[in-house]
Structure 1
Amino acid sequence: MRIPLSDDNGHQYRDLNGNGVLDPYEDTRLSPEERTEDLLGRLSLAEKAGLMFQTVIEVGPDGDLVETAGRISKSPTSEVVTGKHLNHFNVHQIATARQAATWNNNLQELAETTPHGIPVTISTDPRHAFVDNAGVAFSAGPFSQWPEGLGLAALDDLDAVRRFADVARQEYVAVGIRAALHPQIDLATEPRWGRQAQTMGHDADRVSEFTAAYLEGFQGASLSSTSVACTTKHFPGGGPQKDGEDAHFPYGREQVYPGGMFDYHLKPFREAIARGTAAMMPYYGMPIDLTVGGEKIEEVGFGFSRQIVTGLLREELGYDGVVVTDWELVNDNHVGEQVLPARAWGVESLTPSQRLAKIIDAGCDQFGGEECTDLLVDLVENGEVSEARLDESVRRLLLVKFRLGLFDDPFVDVDAAERIVGRADFRRQGFEAQAESTTVLVNREATLPLASSIRVYSENVRPEQVSEWAQPVATPEQADVAVVRLLAPFEPRDDLFLEAWFHQGSLDFPPGLVHRLSRIAEHCPLVVVVTLDRPAILTPLVPFVSALVADYGSSDAAVLAALRGRIAPRGRLPIEIPRSMDAVRASRADVPGDTENPLFPVHFGLTI
Structure 2
Amino acid sequence: MTDQQLIALLKELTLEEKIAQLLQLAAPFFEGTGTEGQITGPMASMGITEDTIKNTGSVLGLSGAKETIGAQEAHLKKNRLGIPLLVMADIIHGYKTIFPVPLAIGCSWDMEAAEKSAEIAAAEASAAGVHVTFSPMVDLVRDPRWGRVMETTGEDPYLNGEFARAFVRGFQGKDLKNDLTRLAACVKHFAAYGAGEGGRDYNTVDMSERQMREYYLPAYKAALDEGAELVMTAFNTVDGIPAAGNKRLMRDLLRMEWGFDGVVISDWGAVKEMIPHGVAADEAEAACKAILAGVDIEMMTTCYENHLKQLVESGDVAETLIDEAVLRILQLKQKLGLFDNPYRGANIERERELVMSTEHRQAARELAVKSCVLLKNEAVLPLKTTQKIALIGPFARNGDILGPWSWMGSKDEAVQLYDGLKSKVDASLIVAAQGSDIAHMTEEQLEEALEAARDADVIVLALGEHSDMSGEAGSRADIRLPQAQLDLTAKLKTLGKPMVAVLFNGRPLDLHGVYDLADAVLEAWYPGTEGGAAVADLLYGDSNPTGRLTMSFPFAVGQVPVYYNHFNTGRPQGAPDAQVRYVSQYLDIPNEPLYPFGYGLSYTTFAYSKAAISSPSMTMDQPITVTVKVTNTGTRGGEEVVQLYVRDIAGEVVRPVKELKAFHKVSLQPGESRDVTFELKEEQLRYHHSDLSLRSDAGEFTVYVGPNSRDVGQGLSFKLIK
Instruction: Give the TM-score normalised by the residue count of structure 1.
Output: 0.80
**Correspondence for 2:278:** 347
**Correspondence for 1:370:** 301
Structure 1: distance between partners of 2:488 and 2:327:
61
Structure 1: distance between partners of 2:99 and 2:29:
24
**Correspondence for 1:471:** 430
Say if 2:516 is the partner of 1:546.
no
Structure 2: distance between partners of 1:588 and 1:242:
16
Task: Show CA shifts across 1:471-505 (max 9, x none).
Answer: 21542212111122222599979xxxx98x52422
**Correspondence for 1:194:** 147
**Correspondence for 1:275:** 226
Distance 1:196 1:551, change over 3 A: same
Superposition map of 1:221-240 within 5 A: 221-226=174-179, 227-240=182-195
| Aligned-partner SS, 1:308 | helix
**Correspondence for 2:107:** 154
Match of 1:384 among 316, 333, 345: 316
| Aligned-partner SS, 2:374 | strand
Distance 1:400 1:258, change over 3 A: closer
**Correspondence for 2:460:** 483
| Aligned-partner SS, 1:311 | helix
**Correspondence for 1:567:** 543
Say if 2:477 is the partner of 1:505.
yes
**Correspondence for 1:133:** none
**Correspondence for 2:259:** 318
**Correspondence for 1:41:** 11
- CA shift, 1:581, in A, is 1.6
Letter in structure 1 aligned against 2:379: E
Of 223-232 and 176-185, more deviation after overlay is shown by 223-232
- CA shift, 1:123, in A, is 0.6
**Contact (CA 8 Å) 2:186, 2:229: kept in 1 or not?**
yes
Task: Show CA shifts across 1:3-59 (max 9, x none).
Answer: xxxxxxxxxxxxxxxxxxxxxxxxxxx53x233212111111111111111121239
**Contact (CA 8 Å) 1:284, 1:301: kept in 2 or not?**
yes
Of 300-309 and 322-331, more deviation after overlay is shown by 322-331
Distance 1:170 1:590, change over 3 A: same
Match of 2:287 among 349, 356, 363: 356
**Correspondence for 2:382:** 448
**Correspondence for 1:528:** 501
**Correspondence for 1:125:** 90
Structure 1: distance between partners of 2:551 and 2:384:
27
Structure 2: distance between partners of 1:366 and 1:105:
22
Segments of 5+ residues of structure 1 without an aligned counterpart are 1-29, 95-99, 130-139, 288-296, 332-341
Distance 1:185 1:74, change over 3 A: farther
Distance 1:592 1:395, change over 3 A: farther
Letter in structure 1 aligned against 2:128: V
Distance 1:577 1:60, change over 3 A: same
Structure 1: distance between partners of 2:378 and 2:41:
50
Task: Show CA shifts across 1:531-557 (max 9, x none).
Answer: 231110113322221111112212333
Structure 1: distance between partners of 2:198 and 2:124:
38
Of 309-318 and 53-62, more deviation after overlay is shown by 53-62
Distance 1:70 1:211, change over 3 A: farther
**Correspondence for 2:169:** 216
Structure 2: distance between partners of 1:144 and 1:74:
37
Of 300-309 and 391-400, more deviation after overlay is shown by 300-309
Letter in structure 2 aligned against 1:145: I
**Contact (CA 8 Å) 1:204, 1:265: kept in 2 or not?**
yes
Task: Show CA shifts across 1:45-79 (max 9, x none).
Answer: 11111111112123999953523308998899x95
**Contact (CA 8 Å) 1:211, 1:268: kept in 2 or not?**
yes
**Correspondence for 1:334:** none
Structure 2: distance between partners of 1:571 and 1:267:
24
Superposition map of 1:10-89 within 5 A: 30-31=1-2, 33-58=3-28, 63-69=33-39, 83=53, 85-89=55-59
Structure 2: distance between partners of 1:228 and 1:154:
24
**Contact (CA 8 Å) 1:488, 1:535: kept in 2 or not?**
no
Task: Show CA shifts across 1:221-274 (max 9, x none).
Answer: 353232311110011221111111111xxxx23444699354311111111221
- CA shift, 1:511, in A, is 5.1
The structure in which a higher percent of residues are strand is 2
CA RMSD of aligned residues (A): 3.2
**Contact (CA 8 Å) 2:564, 2:596: kept in 1 or not?**
no
Structure 2: distance between partners of 1:66 and 1:209:
42
Structure 1: distance between partners of 2:191 and 2:297:
17
Structure 1: distance between partners of 2:276 and 2:111:
37
- CA shift, 1:162, in A, is 1.1
Match of 2:597 among 592, 597, 602: 602
Distance 1:386 1:349, change over 3 A: closer
Letter in structure 1 aligned against 2:73: E
Letter in structure 2 aligned against 1:545: A
**Contact (CA 8 Å) 1:241, 1:256: kept in 2 or not?**
no
**Correspondence for 1:461:** 396
Greater RCO, 1 or 2 (C-alpha within 8 Å, sep 6+): 1
Letter in structure 1 aligned against 2:257: E
**Contact (CA 8 Å) 2:480, 2:512: kept in 1 or not?**
no
Structure 1: distance between partners of 2:536 and 2:178:
40
**Contact (CA 8 Å) 2:140, 2:155: kept in 1 or not?**
yes
- Count residues in correspondence: 530
Structure 1: distance between partners of 2:176 and 2:552:
36
Structure 1: distance between partners of 2:139 and 2:41:
29
Distance 1:575 1:489, change over 3 A: farther
**Correspondence for 1:338:** none
- CA shift, 1:424, in A, is 1.5
Structure 2: distance between partners of 1:464 and 1:491:
23
- CA shift, 1:315, in A, is 1.6
Match of 1:406 among 303, 323, 338: 338
| Aligned-partner SS, 2:214 | helix
Task: Show CA shifts across 1:268-311 (max 9, x none).
Answer: 11112211211111211113xxxxxxxxx4x1211111111112
Bigger Rg, which one: 2
Task: Show CA shifts across 1:443-472 (max 9, x none).
Answer: 112432453552323222124544442321
Letter in structure 2 aligned against 1:230: A
Of 62-71 and 428-437, more deviation after overlay is shown by 62-71
Task: Show CA shifts across 1:581-604 (max 9, x none).
Answer: 22126x589969999311111111
Letter in structure 1 aligned against 2:315: G
Instruction: Give the TM-score normalised by the residue count of structure 2.
Output: 0.68
